[in-house]
Amino acid sequence: MKSDQFPFNLPSLLEKLPIEGMDLWMKRDDLIHPIISGNKWRKLKGFFRGIDRTKTIITFGGAYSNHLPAAALTAKLHGMKIVGVVRGEELHQNSNNYLKYCASQGMELHFISRGDYRTLRSNGWKLNGLDPEIPDNHIILPEGGAGKHTLEGCKEIWQEIKNEFTPNHLVISSGTGATVHGILSAMSKNEKTRVHVISAVRGAVNEMSAICTYAESKGIKINWLDEAFGGFGKTTPELLQEIEEFQSQTEIQLDRNYNAKLWFWLKNNPLQGRIVWVNTGGLSL
């Protein structure tokens, strides 16, 4: 079985939104799959291609990570064992619906302290005997599904858009920058589409610098916007109202961490010409 033979809606729909005064199109990656949605399959595809299925996958995330449920289900569909290392030693598998879902898909959950989690992150996810119960025959999938393998699937977002038309603007939200990196890597040198990145993480200066330097090295115009609501996961009554209004206009539910913040920026900073917004999904379990 090839990993891209799952019941995925690919290529994802490119849909014109009924927003007056804007030539706005949405790349509906949120419809790729109910759980492995948005950029999750795009990021995981390269990791699972040709993977040694006898290994146990070890991956990492917070209690509300979108990555952990997606990784749990993808591993199950590949017939592989997977361990989720979760930030927060006080938690357990019934702490919330995300963790419950992971456990229901067969993911083994290990809860560690925030300090240990930080150490892991700064060690590049090397376990160094941190948990003796973790099997030796394992393969590491970093937090958020990050890694060079993400380029393969994320490139396809741009290839699919290009097959339809070349927009004047591409707008996308960002955490680690992996998804936008993949898109940029698929763009031609001096591509005329201008890229706008709305960061979900406040003050992500390293990510900003890496992505902007890369885009500029290819002659692509890029505009990086810092998170504007007080930090990752923070909302305001205005933002929540915007989510509701957007839903009543379009019947599309936006996730509040990434795509709602993008829409808030876009609505208040209208762009001229044809715009493609890549909806990177987001679960509400």
Ligand X SMILES: Cc1ncc(COP(=O)(O)O)c(C=O)c1O
Cα–Cα distance, 267 to 44 (Å, whole number)? 31
Is 12 a binder of ligand X (CB under 6 A)? no
At its nearest, how many Å lie between ligand X and the CB of residue 206?
A: 13
62, 84, 153, 175: which one contacts ligand X (CB under 6 A)? 175
- Interaction of residue 170 with ligand X, rule CB under 6 A: no
Residues between 15 and 74 that touch ligand X (CB under 6 A): 38-39, 66
- Of the candidate residues 176, 227, 263, 275, the single one contacting ligand X (CB under 6 A): 176
Is position 142 an interface residue for ligand X (rule: CB under 6 A)?
Answer: no
Number of residues in the chain:
285
201 to 240: interface string for ligand X, x by CB under 6 A = ----------------------------------------
* Comparison of 3 and 174: residue with beta carbon closer to ligand X: 174
| Residue entry with tokens 């979900």 | 200
Among 59, 105, 179, 193, binds ligand X (CB under 6 A): 179
* Alpha-carbon torsion angle 125, 199, 29, 57, nearest 10: 0
CB of 151 to ligand X, least distance (A): 11
Is residue 162 exposed (0-12), middle (13-18) or buried (19+ Cβ within 10 Å)? middle
**Least Å from the CB of residue 30 to ligand X:** 8
Q: Which of the residues 82 through 141 are near ligand X (CB under 6 A)? A: none
Tell me which residues touch ligand X (CB under 6 A).
38-39, 66, 144, 173-179, 255, 258, 280-282
